């Protein structure tokens, strides 16, 4: 299974948290990262997003570009919210099944914590998930973990 942990893109700041939509910059960030994933020949077989607007919008842009012509349903998952513990997220993730390329769109600081847990990294701050950063992780069996990449919009020219 390949997991693609994606932090939502840049969002507007002048509204309450639950209503924050992507900014123009956030849309550009999402498109750049999606184009990178598409050029890498990734096709999502499942997609889960936090129910917050900015995460849903980021996920939708990803799916429209990466899975162009091969639509995948976007599911909203409370497990992608910051309020979900690492343990509860791990339980939820274990129900996803053993295969596929799965997009997981969420928020900081929980996204970094979940990535560290999947990779079995015990240091508290080895990396930070910038807005619209994407970490691709290959998971095989109980102990096989490989960080395939960690890409940010800045690395792609934004």
Complete DSSP assignment for 15-80: S-GGGPPBPHHHHHHHHHHHHHHHHTT---SEEEE-SSHHHHHHHHHHHHHHTTTS---EEE-GGG
Q: What is the pTM of this model?
A: 0.94
By CB atoms closer than 10 A (0-12, 13-18, 19+), residue 69 is: exposed
In angstroms, the CA 9 to CA 28 distance is 9
The CATH number for 2-156, chosen from 3.40.640.10, 3.40.50.1240, 3.20.20.105, 1.20.1260.10, is 3.40.50.1240
Taking only the tens place, the pLDDT of each residue in 19-53 is 899 999 999 999 999 999 999 999 999 999 999 99
Q: Where are the domains of the chain?
A: 2-156
Taking only the tens place, the pLDDT of each residue in 90-127 is 999 989 877 899 999 999 999 999 999 999 998 877 77
Tokens 């550009």 sit on residue: 28
Query: What's the confidence (pLDDT) of residue 96?
Result: 86
Residues 6+ apart with CB under 8 A from 88: 79
């Amino acid at each position: 299974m390949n997991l693609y942990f994606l932090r939502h893109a840049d969002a507007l700041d002048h509204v309450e948290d639950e209503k924050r939509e992507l900014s123009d910059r956030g849309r550009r960030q999402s498109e750049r990262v999606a184009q990178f994933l598409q050029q890498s020949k990734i096709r999502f077989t499942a997609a889960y997003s936090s129910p917050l607007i900015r995460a849903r919008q980021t996920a939708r842009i990803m799916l429209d570009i990466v899975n162009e012509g091969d639509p995948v349903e976007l599911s909203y998952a409370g497990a992608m919210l910051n309020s979900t513990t690492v343990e509860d997220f791990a339980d939820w993730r274990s129900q996803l099944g053993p295969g596929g390329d799965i997009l997981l769109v969420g928020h900081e600081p929980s996204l970094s914590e979940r990535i560290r847990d999947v990779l079995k990294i015990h240091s508290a701050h080895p990396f930070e998930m910038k807005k619209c950063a994407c970490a691709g992780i290959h998971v095989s069996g109980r102990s096989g973990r490989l960080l395939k990449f960690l890409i940010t919009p800045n690395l792609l020219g934004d």
